[in-house]
Structures are given as structure tokens and as C-alpha cells.
Amino acid sequence: MGIRTPLRDGYAELHCTSNFSFLQGASHPEELVAQAALLGYAAVAITDRASLSGIVRAHAAAKDAGIKLIVGAVVEPDDAAPLVLWVTNQIGYANLCRLLTAGLMKQDLPPPAWHRSGGAALQPDDRAGRCRLTADELADHSEGLLAGLPLAWLLDREDRAVEAIENWRDRLGGQLVGLAEVAREGDDQERLAFYAQLGRQTGLPLVAAGDVRYHERSRQPLHDALAAVRCGDTIEAIRDRLLSNGERHLHEVSCLTEKFAALPGAVARTLEIADRCQFSLDELQYEYPDAIVPAGTTPAAYLRDLSWKGARQRYPGGVPAKVSDLLEHELGLVAELGYEAYFLTVFDMVRFARRRGILCQGRGSAANSAICYCLGITSVDPARMSVLFERFVSRERQEAPDIDVDFEHQRREEVLQYLYATYGRMRAAMTAEVICYRLRSAVRDLAKVLGVSLDRVDRLARVLDAGDGLEQLPVRLAEAGLDPESEAGSRLVTLVGQLVGFPRHLGQHVGGMVMTRGDLCELVPIQPASMDGRTVIQWDKNDLDELGILKVDCLALGMLSAIRRAFALVEQAGGPRLTLATVPAEDSAVYEMISQADTVGVFQIESRAQRSMLPRLKPACFYDLVIEVAIVRPGPIQGDMVHPYLRRREGDEPVHYPNQAIREVLEKTLGVPLFQEQAMRLAVVAAGFTPGEADQLRRAMGAWRRPGVIDAFHRRLIDGMLARGLSATFAEQVFRQLKGFGEYGFPESHAASFALLVYVSAWLKRHHPAAFTASLLGSQPMGFYAPAQLVRDAREHGVAILPACVQRSGWHASLERTQTADEGAAPAVRLGLEQVHGLGEAVGRRIVEVRQAGPYASMADLVRRCRLARDEVSHLARAGACKALASNRRQAVWESLRQLPAPGSMPLFEQIEKSQPQERTHQARDEARDEELPLATPLEEVLDDYQTGGLSLTAHPLEFVRSRLAEQGAVTAAVATALPEGRRVKVAGLVLSRQRPATASGTLFLSIEDESGGVNVVVRPVVWERCGPQDRRATVIVVEGRVQRRGAVVHLLATRLAGWQESSRRPPDLAGLPCMSRDFC
């Protein structure tokens, strides 16, 4: 190192592995930073393995704790010793990001030779996420970086130690130091002597470091357990690869000076390094990419031009004054803040989708603007909404506008690839999503590592409700048959408590794209995503928010796919050509249907909660739908806004406004703030906030919770309202409402965009039920209901449903004119081959394609022509899709088991077969018919249907046990729901969904169904906990409870739940019935 700065007391830890080196570090970066601050360190470096994922969190924590953070990473080049890199300035940061990106992008290369020879040290997952660099690449990008060579790495390569050091020294010169690390492994003095000798031989300055893996000693067991998870083995089995002690935590400074007494100056040099690292993430400059603008015009002018052009198209009869004012105001604000490019890129993306015929629709916060409407990004008329543009584009902060665009879920990839193509791989990438350990995954991984048998691990995972917290874990362990007090049990509980919340790997955000003007890979490392053709940055959404980086959300929406498919089917069936805009508006028949909660399959309002609201709300116009969409959200529910609104709407309660300004804000929602912008507006008019402040308030309450910030706003808000003469209770109520909105509220435009899809899907359901059903089935998985319920609902509406069949089905569900019916009759829905569980899409499509040449003559013909593998035929046969080719399903399955000659193996015979197919297949069929297979009982047929396709067109499984249910005193759902309020009743049903909304304080909602219909069951937590784990996860459940009626809505308040008990004496039982439940809890 250069000049010796005067020695100070203190220490900076330069080598800390956080848990963002997945499964290696055993502490959060925040914990490391906080602990370092507590111990009085001068600085701390977070150096994860080829990753900067944890650095933004560490940065925020370091700001809070008032400690200096050094940004760094560990790289392990293929052809040289590993290095710890630290960033000294902005150039260094850009270089580090570029380096990591380059290395991560090469991760598919085979591992280097020395790595392979590492034997036991090579962890199985080491190849995934590996950063593949060479020493030369690193040297080329070393400006602004300091590097530390962990000398411990050279210990077992003593003969080559000097060579390894010289190798780096030649490339890095004075930027290189040696990291002297010891961990009380018995030979500390020898090691330090060895380091000192290396230092003397090569002139390398030695710096003390700790190779820290966790912030305090107590995390050692977790660190060991994580190592075992990484190796995919039990701790006992990998114990030879564990560290022998727990010394790799952050030590007291006094301890360290003593430890490194043999290397004078090593501790002090940590401070020199820290001094040279003068980079903070705050210095990062984010620049949004320039828009693609025609030559000779500026982005501002181009945006203005496009907006006005759009406005004139939207309002052929002349742009209303309100809209033109709004447009001017917004354009001004956008110009002032320089966001033209952002709007233009979103416009470009939408224009691309439109050109390709991909249905899309904008929503999200900044979409709530006249500009977006005029540009065609949204379809919601600003003339009908009150718009608060500042809410999303604020003057006070350099705050990112936010536009989400929904695309058809099966075609979004095209749009993403368009963006990659337009901006290039180095300038655009997906946002990451840090996938964290949750209770279930933590229990699963740790139990395996502690040697719990696999089937018990499964059982444990099954008894865990998704809503369970750590408190419930001991109870659940006991339920799974493990004593939580036993040694193994208590170890598991402790470790799980520590592991929950740990990042596990980087996934992709649902649709956030980040684009930059310069190279994105100088801002943050980019790595390939698990999906082909996608790249992802190492930061997640919160990290981007923290640093003020814009992202464009390209989301996938299943309903858009379904709607497009339905439009196409309607047109094919000879109906009109429809678009989102041309669906006839304000159809009273549609609203009537919605008011009766007949909305299975309809976008958004099909859920249990929404359907129980509809009969009370009785929507009669589009705006009612907007409210309906917004009201059943966690925000309004938590803020206690739903019931006042309903009471006021039903006329049970007068509406009272404290003053005129507030009336203006809240009048259209009857005095209850239902939309985010109303809440913001309220803060403005009632408490005197500027719009920007109001938005800061919302954000402060949102994702980035920091206690002090909220309190400051709370005080200001209450004081502001009191100063304006409003009552304290009103003020508190507003605060509570704002709090709810922070995370879960809808902005009005958002709700309006959704409401449009609600209306369109409801219209389709009302007027083209067959096409609607077929399109929903073709767009699975989506929505709240499984195909079984969609089919059932369609049949209740008189749509004929035909089973999947190799002779007639397409891959997706399609419409079919029944031959008996005349031309005018409604078409039937033919289920697609996609309904057959286990059948791949490629195979399914091949069956359809090959059939073009003529129908299949027999099973053998099908197998030969489609070159089907044995298990593919068996899937088809078991699902009953081959009934047309065999006398019954079992014969078809039996046929499929036959060892058919592999296609092509006997070309001669194939020729013969081809020449006389009829003859041969008849023979085969006769042979099959000879076989005396037991005929399937109707129940077995139904069970087979459920097992292979998840639905049955012949009967409901509960019909078969109805007599036994009747003996037990259970009635059908139809009878139960017709009973008057308060009656006790017993109902049995197939569990369709279990739901535990966060807002319902532990109450669980079950939807169950029998042959007569469905019923919703409300289960209080006490009742739920009282029943055993088998009962909670039962496929078929028997509920005792009391009928609750509110208007047209009927619930069953459960007092007892029990799983259906099979009887060993009597034949009909439902043992083979797969679990149909979709769990949202």
C-alpha cells in the first residue's frame, strides 16, 4: 500500500458472506451490518459470492445504523486464486457489475479442471449461479477496485502459493492485498507465521479479515444445516465437510487485535482499505433510456403530438375542456420532471402488442392519466374519473411513475422479447424476485437435513397450513407425530425459526422490466434466468424503489387470453367480430346476472368474497363494477370501509361530510374512501398535505416499513386535520384507512381497467356461455375455480359438455355442433386433450394434427401413427379419451398396456399393417374383448375421471355415498342452503377451496360441493384447530354447523368438521378421490 496513514483504533471487516450467497451465509446483510455497528467497527464490507443482491438492503441498514458500508463481492476465477473485491469509486462499481455480469452469463460452460479435481469440496449446486471469469478479464476491469486474496486458500497449495500471489500481483499491482484469516483451528500461530512469510517473500501487504459467515456465534448450527441443504444430504453424512467451530462470526475489536498480534499493522490496514473505498450506492445515477423519436423532433414534442392526435381520435366529437386542461397539465408536469421517454416507451410496447394482435390493457398508478388514455394505453376515460396525477408523479421526490400493462398470459413472452430486442441484452432485463424461505419450505429442507424420513417430511408439509406462523410449529410437529420437545423436534423448531425469511434463490419478478440509457450491466449485475431467453438483474422491486429506478411492468393476465379466445370462438361460430371496445355496453341482462352472483368464471368478481358482496351491492352500471372491484380488497377491508359503504348504499345510514372539500372527494363513493387517490386527496384537502407528501405518506406505510417514518406522518396528519377543525375520531379513521391502502388498495383507474374486463367477461358468459366456458378451459390455470366447477356451472346454464376424445378433441377445448340438434341450437363444448393429466402439449397437438389425415381406426392405429409411448397411451386410455376406440375405458387401458413393437423397429410388418389396417385392428379388438376384465362400477368410473382429468361428466362422487350420508343425518347442499337462518344442519362435500384471508383474523373459508350444488363454510380458528390434521386436509369433509343468511348470501358457520370416514365393511368408498382443493390460505 502507498502512504501509511496514522494508525487509528478500530477495525473494518472486509470479508462477510451474507445469506445472499445462497445457502452459504447464515445471517441477513442487515444483521451483519447492525452487529458490526454494535461492535464499533469503522466499516463493514458485504462480499457475497458473485452477487450484489443483498447490497441494497445492507446499504439501507448501514444508513440506519450509521456505519460505513463497503460494496464488494467474492469472485472465483477459473484460472487463478479467488479474490475478494471492494469498490472504491463509481468506476469500480461499474466495473464490478460488468465483471459479474460477464461471468454469470457464461455459467453454462463446463466447470474448469481444477474445480473438478476438488473432489468432495465441489458442492452439487456449485455450477448453477457460478460466475465464470478468467484472471485476464478481471484485470481488464480492475480500475476502481481493490482486491484481497484470502491467503487461507493457499494453505493447502503451499508449493504454489508464491506463484499464485505473483500471478495476481502482475495483473493488479498495488490494488492487491493479502487477507490473513485464522479461525482457531489449532494452528493459528503457524498460519500467521506462514502468512507473514508470504508477505515478506512477495511484499504483499497483509490485512486482517474474518471470513465471516454469520453475525453471531449462535448461527453456527444454521450454517452447518445450510451446508447440508446445499449438499442435499444429512448433517451426519457431511460432517467431514463442516467447519469444526463457530468462529466465523463478527468478533470484538479487542479480540481481533489480540488475535492478529503476530501480524503488526494487519488490523490497522483494514481501516486504510475502508478509507480508500469511497463509494456509496447513493451516488448511482439512474437514467431512463431515450425514447425512439422520429428525426427532427424532441421527445417532449413527440409525446405532445401523439397525445393530442390520440385525444382527437378518442373524442371524435371534440375534446372536452376538462380533458384538454388535464392533458396540458399532465404534459407540463411530465416535461418538468423529464418523464417523456417513460411514457413513450410504454406507448411503444403497447403499440407493438396491438400490431401483433395481442390483447393488452394498462393499469397501475401512472396509467391513471389523460396521457395514457389518449395514447391508448388504457381504456378508461379520464372525463369520467377524477384524476390526481401528482399522486404518481411527484415533484417532491424523484419518484418513478408506474404503469403496469397486462398482456394475454400465453403471449406475453413476445412482448418481453420485443423489449430485449429493442434495448439489447445489456440495457434491459427483468427485475428479480428474491424467493425466501417460508415456513413450509424451511421445515422441509431442515427436516431432511436433520435426518427425518422423507414421508414424514411430506406429512409435516401437509399438516402445515400456509397461514401458520412459527408459533404453530410445535403443535403441527406433534400432529405429524414428532414430539416438539424431543431433541430432534426442538432443534428443528429453533432452526426453522432462524431460517424463515432467508433468501433461497433469485426468481423473476412477475413482469418488471428495467431499462437504462447506458449499460444496465454497469448499474447492477445481470444473470440468466432459469427460463430460456430471459435475463434478470440481481435486485428486486424493493431494491429498485430504494434507489429510485424505474421499471415497466409487463404482466400476464389469464383473462385477457380467455377473452381473446372467446372472441375468436364467437366469430368462428358465426357470431359478430368483437373487440374489448365493441362489446355492447351497459347491457341490463348482464347486470342482472351479476346481481344474482351468477359469476363463476367472470374476471375478479367470481371469488367467494366477491360473490357474497354482489347481491348486496347489486351493480347496475359500469361504475358500480369499478367500486365492486375496489371494495373487496384487503385495504378497504382492513380500513373498515366495506360495511359503512354497504349500509349507506342500502340506505340504512345517512351520509355525512365534515365539509365541502371532503364532500367533493368522497361523494361518489358515499363518503367512504375506496380508492387510493381518494385517500391521498383526503390527506391533501383535510390535512393540508401537498400531493407529493401524500404519496410519500402512502409509501411510508407500504412495503418499506420503518417505524420512525410513519410516526412522523401520523402526527402531521392528525395535527393537520385538527387544525382544520375536523374531529379527532375522523382523523384517526382517515389514518387507519390510509394505512390499509398503503399496500392493498386499488387506484381508481386500476379498478376501472379491471372493471372493463369484468364487464366483458360477464357479457360473454351471459350471451355466449359455451364459447366462454371453452375459452376459460383453454386458458387454465387461471382464476378462482378449477375446470370441474367451470364445467359444472356451464352445465347448469344449459351448455352441453362432451368428454375429451382422441377422435374429436383439439388440444384446447372447442365448440361442437351436436349432430342431433338443428342449426340454431347452442353449440356444445368439447373438452380438449389438455384435460388429460400427464399428457404433454406436444403429444396432444400431434394427435390432433395426425388426425387430419383421417380418424384413428384402433388403439394400435393411434399408437403407430402418433408414435405414442406406452405411458402416453395409458394416460389417454385411463382418462377415457380412447373410449371411441375400445368397448370401454378399461379395455382401452388394457390395450394400452400391450407391448407394442417400437415404431420403426419392424418396418416390414408396418408395411403389412398399413396395407390391411382394418383387418388387423379388428383382430386386436376381438382379442381385447375376450379378456374378462372386471367392469368398472359407476363409482370407479367417476374416480378414474377425477384422477385423470380432475372432473367427471357422469356423476358426482358424493352421489355414491349419499345413502350413508343420509344415515348419518347429513343433507344435501341444496337442502341446507334453503334452510332458514340459525338452523343446525349437517352437510358433506368435496372440498374445493380453503381460504384464509389475511384480513379475517384466522377465520377460514371452505367451499364445498356435492351433487346438488356448493355451499360456503365459515370456520372459526377455534373449530379449525380442534380438528385433527387428517380432517383439515380431508378431500371430502362432513360439516356440522348453523345456517347464516344475509340477504341472498348463505353461509354455514361450522361447529364441527370431520373428514369423511371410509367404512371398511361397505363397498362404496371414495378412497381413490384425489384432493380437489385449491388452497389460498
Partner 1 sequence: MSRIMTIWLPRWPVQRLLQEQPELRPLPVFICRQNRRGLMTVTSWAWAAPPQAAALKRPDIRSGLSLAEAMAVLAAACGPRACRLAHVANEDRVGDHQSLETVARWCRRFSPLVALGPEAEAGGSDSLQVDVSGTADFFGGETSLARTAVWTLAARGFHARVAIADTPVASWAAARHSEQVRAARPASGQAAVSQTASGQAAVSQTAFGQAAVSQTASGQATTEESHGHWLHRRQRWVVVPPGGQRQWLASLPLSALRLPAGTCQALADVGVKSIGRLLRISRASLQQRFEPVVTLQLARLLGETAEPLVSPSGEELPRASHAFETPVFSGEFSEADFGHLLTDLVAGCLRPLTPAGWGVSSLQMRVAGECHRPTVIDVGLFRPAAEVKHLVDLLLLRLSRTRLPREILAVTVEVVAVAMLTCRQQLLFADEQPAASTEKVSGLLDRLACRLGRGAVVEPRPLADAQPESAWAAVPIAGAVGLRQPRVRSAGLAIGRQGYGGQGRWGGVGGSRPTCLFPRPQPLEVLAIAPEGPPVRFRWRGQEHWVDRIRGPERIETAWWRGPTLRRDYYIVETDTGGRFWLFRGLRRQSWFLHGTFG
CA distance 605 to 607: 6
For partner 1, the binding residue among 3, 121, 908, 1022 (CB under 8 A) is 121
Pairing mode of beta strands 1049-1059, 1036-1046 = antiparallel
Residues 14-43 contacting partner 1, CB under 8 A: 24
Which position among 54, 205, 246, 601 is part of the footprint of partner 1 (CB under 8 A)? Answer: 246
**Nearer to partner 1 by C-beta: 280 or 1061?**
1061
Based on CB atoms, which residue is closest to partner 1, 452 or 559? 452
The stretch near partner 1 (CB under 8 A) out of 233-241, 904-912, 1011-1019, 1026-1034 is 233-241
Cell of 246: 463457530
Instruction: Please give the residues from 165 up to 194 whose contact with partner 1 meets the rule CB under 8 A.
Output: 183-187, 189-190
Q: Which is nearer to partner 1, 252 or 586 (CB)?
A: 252
Show the binding pattern over residues 460-489: x = contacts partner 1 (CB under 8 A), - = does not: ------------------x--xxx-xxxxx
> Per CB under 8 A, does 220 bind partner 1?
yes
352 near partner 1, judged by CB under 8 A: no
If one asks whether residue 901 binds partner 1 (CB under 8 A), the answer comes out as no
Q: Which residues pair with 555 in a beta bridge?
A: 406
Q: For partner 1, how many residues bind (rule: CB under 8 A)? A: 75
Measured CA to CA, the distance from residue 904 to residue 896 in angstroms comes to: 18
Q: Which grid coordinates are listed for 90?
A: 463509481
The residue from 1, 89, 153, 542 that contacts partner 1 (CB under 8 A) is 153
Q: Is 718 exposed, middle or buried (0-12, 13-18, 19+ CB in 10 A)?
A: middle
Q: Are 568 and 576 in contact (CB under 8 A)?
A: no
Q: Which stretch binds partner 1 (CB under 8 A): 4-12, 34-42, 528-536, 924-932?
A: 924-932
Q: Which of 156, 282, 652, 967 binds partner 1 (CB under 8 A)?
A: 156
- In the bound complex, what is the minimum distance in angstroms from residue 347's beta carbon to partner 1? 50
Nearest approach, Cβ of residue 458 and partner 1 (Å):
13
268-287 exposure pattern, b = at least 16 Cβ within 10 A, e = fewer: bbbbbbbebbebbbeebebe
Q: With respect to partner 1, which residue has the nearer C-beta, 413 or 1069?
A: 1069
Give me the least distance between CB of 700 and partner 1, in Å please.
Answer: 41
Q: Is the dihedral of CA 657, 662, 668, 671 positive or negative?
A: negative
Cβ closer to partner 1: 447 or 762? Answer: 447
244: Cβ–Cβ under 8 A, 6 or more apart, which residues?
185
Complex with partner 1: residue 551 or 878, whichever CB lies closer: 878
CB 344 within 8 A of CB 331: no
- Distance of closest approach, residue 244 Cβ to partner 1, in angstroms: 4
Stretch that binds partner 1, among 164-172, 238-246, 737-745, 980-988 (CB under 8 A): 238-246
Q: Which of residues 245 and 963 has its CB atom nearest to partner 1 in the complex?
A: 245
Binding positions for partner 1, 200-219, rule CB under 8 A:
211, 217
Q: At what angle do helices 412-423 and 340-356 cross, to 10 degrees?
A: 130
Q: How far is the CB of 735 from partner 1 (least distance, A)?
A: 47
Per rule CB under 8 A, is residue 648 in the interface with partner 1? no
Spatial distance between the Cα atoms of 491 and 506, rounded to a whole number of angstroms: 28
Q: Name the residue nearer to partner 1 (CB basis): 3 or 1071.
A: 1071
The residue from 242, 722, 800, 979 that contacts partner 1 (CB under 8 A) is 242
User: Which 3 state secondary structure label does DSSP give 1004?
Assistant: strand
Buried b (16+ CB within 10 A) or exposed e, 115-148: beeeeeeebeeeeebbbbbbbebbbebbebbbbb
Helix ranges (H only) for 464-505 are 473-479, 487-499
Among 931, 963, 975, 982, binds partner 1 (CB under 8 A): 931
Between residue 542 and residue 561, which ones bind partner 1 under the rule CB under 8 A?
none
Residues numbered 250-309 forming contacts with partner 1, rule: CB under 8 A: none
Considering the complex, what minimum distance in angstroms separates the CB of residue 15 from partner 1?
11
Pattern 963-1002, partner 1, x by CB under 8 A: ----------------------------------------
CB 62 within 8 A of CB 30: no
Residues 418-437 that bind partner 1 (CB under 8 A): none
Task: Determine, following the binding rule CB under 8 A, whether residue 152 of this chain makes contact with partner 1.
Answer: yes
CA–CA dist 881, 903 (Å, integer) = 22
Q: How far is the CB of 178 from partner 1 (least distance, A)?
A: 14
233 binds partner 1 (CB under 8 A): yes
Spatial contact of 54 and 244, defined as CB atoms under 8 Å apart: no
**Site for partner 1 contains 382 (CB under 8 A):** no
Which of 436, 529, 936, 974 touches partner 1 by CB under 8 A? 936
Q: Shortest Cβ distance from residue 835 to partner 1 (Å)?
A: 18
420: Cβ contacts below 8 Å, ≥ 6 apart: 428, 533, 535
Say which residues have a Cβ less than 8 Å from residue 961's Cβ, sequence separation at least 6: 988, 1060, 1068, 1069, 1070
DSSP string, 113-147: HHHHTTGGGS-GGGGTT-----HHHHHHT-TTEEE
Which three cell numbers mark 277?
473505498
- Under the binding rule (CB under 8 A), the answer on residue 163 touching partner 1 is no
- The interface mask with partner 1, positions 1007-1046, x = CB under 8 A, is ----------------------------------------
User: Distances from the Cα of 739 to the Cαs of 512, 638, 639, 1039, in angstroms?
Assistant: 25, 9, 7, 37
Smallest distance from the beta carbon of 107 to partner 1, in angstroms? 17
Q: Give me 507's grid cell.
A: 426468481
In sequence order, which residues have a C-beta less than 8 Å from that of residue 74 and are 6 or more positions away? 15, 17, 21, 47, 48, 49, 50, 82, 83, 84, 85
The burial of 518, by beta-carbon neighbours within 10 Å (0-12 exposed, 13-18 middle, 19 or more buried), is given as middle
Cα–Cα distance measured from residue 446 to residue 453, given in angstroms and rounded to the nearest whole number: 11
Q: How far is the CB of 83 from partner 1 (least distance, A)?
A: 11
Is 119 a residue that touches partner 1 (CB under 8 A)? Answer: yes
Measured from the CB atom, the residue of 79 and 931 that comes closer to partner 1 is: 931
Q: Which of 413, 414, 519, 940 binds partner 1 (CB under 8 A)?
A: 940
User: Which residues ranging from 41 to 100 are in contact with partner 1 (CB under 8 A)?
Assistant: 76, 82
Question: To the nearest whole angstrom, how small is the minimum distance from the Cβ of residue 957 to partner 1?
Answer: 17
Q: Which residues pair with 829 in a beta bridge?
A: 801, 815
Site for partner 1, residues 841 to 900, rule: CB under 8 A: 874, 878, 890, 893-894, 897-899
Handedness of CA 684, 690, 694, 700 (dihedral sign): negative
The residues in 441-460 that bind partner 1, with binding defined as CB under 8 A, are 450-453, 456
Span 590-609, contacts to partner 1 by CB under 8 A: none
Residue with smaller CB distance to partner 1, 176 or 311: 176
Cβ of residue 898: shortest distance to partner 1, in angstroms? 5
72 phi, psi to nearest 5 deg: -165, 180
- CA-only gyration radius of the chain, Å: 33
CA atoms within 13 A on the CB side of 681: 21
CB of 933 to partner 1, least distance (A): 6
Out of 106, 127, 169, 241, point to the residue binding partner 1 (CB under 8 A): 241
